[in-house]
Amino acid sequence: MSVHRIGLVVHQGRAAALEAARTVREWSSTHGVGCTDIDVWDADRHRRNGQEEAEAAGNPDLVVTLGGDGTFLRGARIAVKSGASVLGVDLGRVGFLTEVPTRDVRDALDAVLEGRVAVEERMTLTMRASRPLEVPPALQALLLYGRGPALPPPTTRPETTEGQGWGIPLDVNALNDVVLEKLSRDHQVSVGVYLAGRFLAAYSADALAVATPTGSTAYSFAAGGPVLSPHMDAVIFTPIAPHMTFDRSVVAAPDEPVALRVLPHSGQAAVSVDGQLRGVLDPGDWIAVFRAPDRVRLLRLHPTDFYGRLRERFRLTDAPATAQDEPAAPFFRPDTPIPPDLAGMRLPPPAAAR
């Protein structure tokens, strides 16, 4: 693929990330490719939204992230606004998004330049709200204690809609999740939940998460939600520590929006997008979360082995029963032709191609 400018997002607290960043800059200089550092952690400057960061970096066509999944999410927020692809270099411990080991950075960049990579598109979420999101100044210092500078509240998308009551379209994308959570430690948030425009139930909970399949292994999973293949589109609603009998996740179709309305007797609630605080809602306010038209373009050097990574990250290989298992499905024979009824299925590559 054609690469004219790289946007570099580096976890500044990891020595291996800093060393890999030097490799990326050297490679860029050798190949005549522009390379701009995008500092998304600097506490001494005003944080910018994804579009502003992309423009300030010269609208890169490739974003390289050096860190774990948190670093990748910061890079993806920028890439999705400029249509750039994202190459994640892995320095994390339990992540699912990054892929390339630091030792292979140079080879990975060569593969990108030569077109020897696959593009994997992932669904994102966007929002509408009853009013523009903001963080009241009186709460900002408390909410951001120990977190560093905040991202600005999402701006309004430049579009209009006929009729009234549809809310304000927010210019934001979530690759993992949108979370509505309580602000007071001793007071849960009370929320009315609507799926596809129909009332489901009123929840009193610590938080409520709306996740993508990519985000199903993040906060939603930690709260007991299901694991979904990242290759599918769906919207996952998961209540977190709810005070009610029905505490299960609901997996909705990708065209079924999830609306969350803060009930009149509730306290205020914080809105986080991919772990970043983006606003505070008062009782009576609402947000609607739904599939966005924008997708994140991940670059992969090899076919994704999501379930193998699931086994590795959650140490499923330590289970006693795994000693009885074979590495491939019982019916899978990688060295013989694929039967017609399995044509088009997502299967591991033949052994010779691994």
Secondary structure letter of residue 156 according to DSSP:
B
Amino acid at 210: V
The Cα-based distances of 174 to 70, 171, 233, 234, 276 in angstroms read: 13, 11, 14, 13, 10
Distance between CA atoms of residues 290 and 53, nearest Å: 24
69 neighbors 92 (Cβ within 8 angstroms) = yes
Quickly count: other Cβ atoms within 10 Å of residue 161's Cβ.
Answer: 11
Residue partners of 138: CB distance under 8 A and separation at least 6: none
User: Which residue has tokens 């739904």?
Assistant: 290
69 is catalytic: yes
69 neighbors 98 (Cβ within 8 angstroms) = yes
| The one catalytic residue among 39, 42, 69, 206 | 69
Name the residue among 234, 290, 222 with its Cα closest to residue 260. Answer: 290
Q: Which residues are catalytic?
A: 69
